[in-house]
Structure 1
Amino acid sequence: MIQPDQLKAILNTIEGTDYAGKSSIDLLMEYGFQLKQWMAFSGEQMSLAKEALHRKKKQAMINLVASLGAQKIHLSPLLQKEYVNDCCHMEHGIYELADRCNKACSHSINLVITCISALKEEMKLSQVLS
């Protein structure tokens, strides 16, 4: 089942994360594991959303072709494609939301890795200086 509200909640959590409060390697690792779980969830949501989008596009095209045939109207392929895409705007929006959430998790994981590396370097420096 597609859960756009959960995806929005994940994005809001990532956006509101204060890394100043995550100044230990253990806290950063814990957050990294949470991000990994969110990344897996958002990846699954992307897959489900893409399936829903394709089903909706197929049905919209079937309906359009039937309607055009019944009314003996010709519509250029470009206008047909635009019409079908407009019919699927909600499904496309949900897919984009899942994709953005997945990418935000990925970028946040990279930031966590960078922060952990910086903390390790600080620890090495403090040991050398003491």
Structure 2
Amino acid sequence: MRRVLFPLARGLCAAGLTTSPAPAAITTIEVRRTEPFADGTSFGATGAYVKVVGVAHGELDPAAAANRAIVNLDRAPKNERGRVEYDVDFYVLRPADPNRGNHKILYEVTNRGRKLLFAWRRRRRKQ
């Protein structure tokens, strides 16, 4: 588990730390639970998947031009670095055996917490 998630966390944090000054950055990633996906059902050559659920904690620079469109960000409480802290939930499906996956990421930006990525499959089945 650690072997799979650590590179993801390291990559996300590095992306936030390599630009200066960063208008936003992920500061920590907290994995809250891991469990078999779809009761351990096997999916073709990849096999079973594991669901990883957690929270990414980050901070925004309210003075950054890139963040000006965020309503009332300038009024939010700031930490000791003058940044506004935030949390975002994440939900990752990964192969139970990383060696059997294709080493690609399919990413969905959620809208108000709704997961829509597989909605097209549900619609197709109804037709």
TM-score (norm 2): 0.24
TM-score (norm 1): 0.24
Structure 1 or 2: more helix by fraction: 1
Structure 1 or 2: more strand by fraction: 2
Instruction: Name the larger-Rg structure.
Output: 1
